[in-house]
Copies of this chain bind each other. A is one copy, B any other.
Amino acid sequence: MAHQCVVVLIMKERYFDDVKVGDRFKSEPLRVTEKEVIEFAHKFDPQMFHLSRKDAERTIFKGLIASGWHTAAMSMRLFVRTLNFAEGAIGLGVDELRWPNAVRPDDVLSVETEILDVRRSRSRPEHGIIRLRNVTTNQRGEVVQTMLASAMVPKRSNGR
């Protein structure tokens, strides 16, 4: 008789108190599909190098590439799932957002997060503010996006 084994992974929720300057986190990989690149472009960035493989061949990219905003959104997905802050991380701002290499269909992206600074929130004592750098790379280790960000995340209260 076969036994079915169900493994349920419950991701640990993180709080402000759980991170410190210098901590690094590496995300899971995420494969980029041509369908999603084109779908995102139709909705949000309708330019020829994002919309159609054929038209994109005639551009300076010589092929279809993902919108930088699509790369940013995919990177956010990877960041959110990796850090997994309880109640969520509230984005306060982003600086120096760069796309040094193009993202193409079938690329496999991952994000590495480094905590640059942690401080208490003056206006919201139950939250802390973290400053971080997110670097998104493809399957060849080429950097496709870098950014600095500040986010407000909850502190662990006595009750939890």
Contact = CB atoms under 8 A, between A and B. Distances in A.
Contact of A80 (B47, B81, B97): B47
Contacts of A40: 73
Given A43-B73, A45-B76, A97-B97, 11 more contacts: A46-B77, A47-B80, A47-B88, A48-B87, A59-B88, A60-B124, A67-B73, A68-B94, A92-B98, A93-B99, A95-B96
Nearest to A59: B87
Interface residues of A, number: 35
26 contacts: A40-B73, A43-B73, A43-B77, A44-B76, A44-B77, A45-B73, A45-B77, A46-B77, A47-B80, A48-B87, A48-B88, A49-B88, A49-B90, A59-B87, A60-B124, A69-B69, A70-B73, A73-B73, A91-B99, A92-B98, A92-B99, A93-B96, A93-B98, A93-B99, A94-B97, A97-B97
A89 interface: yes
A87 B67 CA distance: 14
Contact of A46 (B47, B60, B80): B80
Interface in A41-90: 43-49, 59-60, 67-70, 72-74, 76-77, 80-81, 87-90
Cβ-closest 7 pairs across A and B: A47-B88, A44-B73, A94-B97, A93-B98, A68-B91, A69-B73, A44-B77
